Amino acid sequence: MKKLATLALTVLVSLPAFATTTTGPKKPVIQLAILLDTSNSMDGLIDQARKQLWRVVNELAIAKKSGQSPDLQVALYEYGNDSLSSENGYIRRVLPLTTDLDRVSEQLFALRTNGGQEYCGQVIEAATSGLNWSRSNDDMKLIFIAGNEPFTQGKVDFHEACKRAIAHGIVVNTVFCGDKQEGINTSWKDGATLADGRYMAIDQNAQVAEISAPQDKEIAALGSELNKTYIAYGAAGGEGSARQNAQDANVAAAPAANVQRQVAKAQAVYSNSSWDLVDAVEEMKVVDVSKLKDDQLPAEMKKMTPEQRKTYVAEKAKKRTEIQTKIKKLDEERKKYVAQEMRKVPAAASTLDAAVISTVRDIGKKQGYKFP
């Protein structure tokens, strides 16, 4: 039994940053594959995805099914970029389905636009067959494809690709970047209809109205304090901690996005159990900090006794919970303030986050999810 436990621990410590390991009763799962056109005209779309990721996360984090909050898994594809292989249809799987939301943010900021032949049917087919989709009908499985060229391009017939997706319980939602009628005329609506999804048109270049709230400064400061409660460990520790800080820096210049990110870090869906000891002990249960080797620990823990290690992790966990509680309370106050101020602002053009959030809410309610 000891050998088995040691083997399990060794595997967990060596897991790559995007791997996920869960124990205990099965939680509901929301799987979200985002397929982004990265041709030359899509810089605005990519910018929206970068800034609005954390607002989408926060909306999904409040969903509940049978009283349980879901695990959120996100995958990312890019298509229509001439720098990608023509043999693969100018398509690249950027990330498999992962709970590592910092990695999703990192890869969104790394995307670059270039040229483009946009093969919608082929990228839908690639996402359907190339991801580890849940086999449970209780889990929400969604594809969102966004772009602005005719849906009919490429050697893979979108009709067949969308039918194969829905046959596996994967709902395909299409987001046309441009005039709504033009998207209908170029078959974007047809793709969604075939796979029980929604068709939406957005302005990819629209700037979302940003409302500054009295709570913003304190939420941002608490987000920085939250980072100090993480304990990087194992082979992925240094990289994971650096990625967390880098994603804070990436949104620092956009106040609204920064606030949404710090709020997301207070949610259960923001999990870093592959590199953070606090999350690993809480979520995996198998990690016993008293038995970790020195080379798996940060410098400040190496000289601690086994009991001191446990106490240290417990104290960090307590501090994290306190900070997260404060952030959530401030966020509730902020939402009320922003809602009042938004009534004074002219209606804005539809953007990517609004399209994703409204769709997930509608589909989720049909599948038994409840949203406050």
Closest CA to 320 of 221, 219, 220, 228: 228
| Positions of the chain with pLDDT under 70 | 1-25, 209, 284-286, 347-349
This prediction has a pTM of 0.88
Q: Are 18 and 103 in contact (CB under 8 A)?
A: yes
Among all chains, which residue has been given the structure tokens 């209908």? Answer: 184
**101-110 vs 237-251: helix crossing angle, rounded to 10:** 60
Spell out the domains of the chain, with CATH numbers in brackets: 26-208+348-370 (3.40.50.410), 216-342 (no CATH)
DSSP state letter for 265: T
The first and second tokens of residue 106, run together, are: 């990192």
Confidence at residue 25, expressed as pLDDT on a 0 to 100 scale: 56
Calculate Rg over the CA atoms of the chain. Answer: 21
Q: SS3 for 344? A: coil
Confidence at residue 21, expressed as pLDDT on a 0 to 100 scale: 42
Rounded to whole angstroms, how far apart are CA atoms 168 and 11? 31
Give the β-pairing of 369-370 and 64-65: antiparallel
Rounded to whole angstroms, how far apart are CA atoms 150 and 258? 35
299: exposed, middle or buried (Cβ count in 10 Å: 0-12, 13-18, 19+): exposed
Rounded to whole angstroms, how far apart are CA atoms 280 and 47? 32
DSSP assignment of 276-333, as one string? BHHHIIIIIS---GGG--GGGS-HHHHTS-HHHHHHHHHHHHHHHHHHHHHHHHHHHH
Look up residue 80 and give its amino acid. Answer: G
Closest CA to 44 of 111, 139, 142: 111
The first and second tokens of residue 346, run together, are: 């002219």
Q: Are 158 and 151 in contact (CB under 8 A)?
A: yes
Closest CA to 109 of 208, 247, 203: 247
Confidence at residue 207, expressed as pLDDT on a 0 to 100 scale: 74
Give the β-pairing of 29-37 and 71-79: parallel
Confidence at residue 11, expressed as pLDDT on a 0 to 100 scale: 35
Q: SS3 for 106? A: helix
Query: CB 347: neighbour CB atoms within 10 A?
Result: 7
Q: How many residues are listed for the chain in this entry?
A: 372
Residues in CB range of 160: below 8 A, 6 or more apart: 121, 125
Residues in CB range of 109: below 8 A, 6 or more apart: 50, 247, 250
Q: Are 262 and 323 in contact (CB under 8 A)?
A: no
